[in-house]
């Protein structure tokens, strides 16, 4: 029996949205195209719109014209050749009857291929196992996206820093109320100038920040925690950066200061434990144990979760959330070359929320922190 790695591989997707296809080809295209890896050689089937660009830019061995394949099918009697027909011609000419496909392979296309006696072996993630451990050039791409994220963070925090505190407690910018939307616009523009796109940036003030994925909206207020979580994607490489900081414009309460210090220390605990061979669940458990021992309880109160109720981190690469995980559900050991976030947080409605996030590379003996942006609370 052939192993999953030795089987021919097939992907049909848009590389702008499919990390496996982008990883294999290093070619961005907005429309779906075909990648066949046969006996270790990569073959693309492209539309006439993209074929010349693919031949120049894609890191593959050959590029075929889809329109030429369709014309051959029409001569064989196919009136309206579709993707399944093109694939069957492509596979039959190479005497391929069985291919490995990713778990998100289009269902409708899979049914048509199986109806034509093509055997599909669905391969669970990772489709390309080597994607998890980043090469030096991939780490450089991630660092560039992270530098853009840090520039956006600096711009956003500086806007908050320069705001005035109104008697009502609302922050003012150029005479008007400073809103989460204002800060996100400044962050996005700064990052775009650096060749990256930041979507769904989080600028969440007060209790909004107690829902970790609440993007935040409306006026920002003094003396309350403001979580800024920024995760841009490079337009040229497709790799992501990720960073979170928490600040207060004005004076933080003593309890909020204690939460900040606890999260900072919890992150340091995780950073010290991360290295190749360590289970991600063990790193997460250490942070949970510390928070519990320090008196920061996790549980449901008044129908809402509070404390530390998400994972400590996740992998970052051509996807913003990919393997491995640092969480209670992590079931594998870390490997050198993996890039992961370290982002513990504490969330207490009525008091505030704090999350701090750095991006690190796992090494054989420790971790290397890629993040340079400082951590401070009060502005």
Distance separating alpha carbons of residues 267 and 270, to the nearest angstrom: 5
CA 140 – CA 197 distance, rounded (Å): 17
Q: What pLDDT sits at residue 117?
A: 95
Calculate the average pLDDT of the chain.
Answer: 96
- Calculate the CA dihedral of residues 39, 88, 111, 2 and round it to 10 degrees: -20
Q: Return the bridge partners of 322, or none.
A: 315
CATH topology of domain 9-131: Creatine Amidinohydrolase; Chain A, domain 1 (3.40.350)
Helix boundaries (H) for the chain: 19-25, 51-57, 66-75, 83-93, 107-115, 136-162, 180-192, 254-273, 280-293
pLDDT at residue 2 is higher than 50 = no
CB atoms within 10 A of CB 264: 16
Q: What is the pLDDT of residues 261-274, one digit of tens each?
A: 999 999 999 999 99
pLDDT in tens, 166-213: 999 999 999 999 999 999 999 999 999 999 999 999 999 999 999 999
Residue 136's pLDDT is what? Answer: 98
Per-residue pLDDT of 205-254, as tens digits, reads 999 999 999 999 999 999 999 999 999 999 999 999 999 999 999 999 99
What band does 3 get if pLDDT is binned at 50, 70 and 90?
very low
Burial of 139 (0-12, 13-18, 19+ CB in 10 A): middle
Report d(CA 238, CA 316) in Å as an integer.
11
HSE, CB side, 13 Å, CA atoms: give it for residue 82: 6
Distance CA 104, CA 346 (A): 34
Q: How confident is the model at residue 363 (pLDDT cuts 50, 70, 90)?
A: very high
From 3.90.230.10, 3.40.50.720, 3.40.47.10, 3.40.640.10, which CATH number describes the 136-369 domain?
3.90.230.10
Tokens 């790193």, located at residue: 283
What's the rounded Cα separation, in Å, for the pair 283 and 126?
Answer: 22
Contact 34, 69 (CB under 8 A): no
Average of per-residue pLDDT across 9-35: 97
Which residues touch 93 (CB under 8 Å, ≥6 apart)?
none
Could you tell me which of 336, 338, 327, 339 has the C-alpha nearest to residue 279? 327
Using CB atoms within 10 Å of the CB of residue 295, give its burial: 0 to 12 exposed, 13 to 18 middle, 19+ buried. exposed
pLDDT digits (tens, 9 = 90+) for 77-100: 999 999 999 999 999 999 999 999
Angle, helices 280-293 vs 254-273, to 10°: value is 150
d(CA 364, CA 379): 38
Question: Do the bridges between strand 98-102 and strand 119-123 make them parallel or antiparallel, or are there none, so unpaired?
Answer: parallel
**Segment holding 225, helix H or strand E:** strand 225-230
User: For the chain, what are the domain ranges?
Assistant: 9-131, 136-369
pLDDT value at residue 5 = 59
At residue 24 the predicted structure's pLDDT band, cuts being 50, 70 and 90, is: very high
The pLDDT of residue 332: 87
Contact criterion met (CB below 8 Å) for 19 and 317: yes
Q: How far is CA 335 from CA 287, 315, 325, 350, in A?
A: 20, 11, 12, 40
| pLDDT value at residue 125 | 86
Give CA–CA dist 377/30, Å, rounded. Answer: 41
Query: CA 31, 36, 38 angle in degrees (round to 5)?
Result: 170
| 288-346 pLDDT per residue, tens | 999 999 999 999 998 899 999 999 999 999 999 999 999 998 888 999 999 999 999 99
Closest CA to 19 of 102, 75, 92: 102
């Amino acid at each position: 029996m052939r192993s999953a790695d030795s089987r021919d591989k097939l992907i049909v997707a848009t590389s702008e949205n499919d990390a496996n296809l982008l990883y294999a080809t290093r070619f961005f295209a907005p429309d779906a195209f075909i990648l066949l890896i046969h006996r270790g050689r990569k073959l693309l089937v492209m539309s006439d719109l993209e074929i010349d660009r693919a031949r120049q830019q894609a890191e593959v061995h050959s590029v075929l014209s889809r329109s030429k394949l369709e014309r051959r099918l029409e001569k064989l009697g196919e009136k309206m050749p579709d993707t399944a027909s093109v694939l069957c011609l492509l596979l039959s000419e190479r005497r391929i009857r069985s291919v490995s496909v990713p778990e998100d392979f289009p269902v409708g296309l899979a049914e048509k291929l199986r109806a034509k006696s093509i055997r599909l072996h669905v391969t669970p993630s990772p489709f390309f196992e080597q994607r998890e451990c980043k090469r030096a050039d991939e780490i450089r791409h991630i660092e560039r996206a992270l530098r853009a994220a840090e520039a956006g963070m600096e711009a956003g925090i500086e806007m908050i820093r320069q705001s005035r505190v109104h008697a009502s407690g609302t922050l003012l910018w150029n005479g008007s109320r400073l809103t989460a939307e204002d800060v996100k616009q400044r962050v996005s523009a700064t990052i775009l100038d650096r060749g990256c796109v930041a979507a769904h940036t989080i600028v969440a003030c007060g209790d909004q920040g107690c829902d970790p994925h609440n993007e935040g909206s409306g006026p920002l207020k003094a003396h309350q925690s403001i979580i800024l979580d920024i995760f841009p994607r490079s337009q040229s490489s497709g790799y992501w950066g990720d960073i979170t900081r928490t600040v207060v414009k004005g004076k933080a309460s003593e309890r909020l200061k204690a939460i900040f210090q606890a999260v900072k220390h919890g992150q340091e605990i995780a950073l010290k434990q991360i290295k190749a061979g360590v289970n991600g669940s063990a790193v997460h458990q250490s942070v949970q144990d510390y928070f519990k021992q320090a008196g920061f309880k996790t549980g449901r109160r008044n129908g809402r979760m509070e404390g530390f109720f998400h994972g400590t981190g996740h992998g970052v690469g051509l996807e913003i959330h990919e393997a491995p995980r640092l969480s209670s559900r992590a079931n594998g050991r870390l490997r050198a070359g993996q890039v992961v976030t370290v982002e513990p947080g504490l969330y207490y409605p009525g008091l505030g929320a704090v999350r701090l996030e750095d991006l690190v590379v796992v090494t054989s003996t420790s971790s290397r922190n890629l993040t340079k942006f400082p951590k401070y609370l009060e502005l």
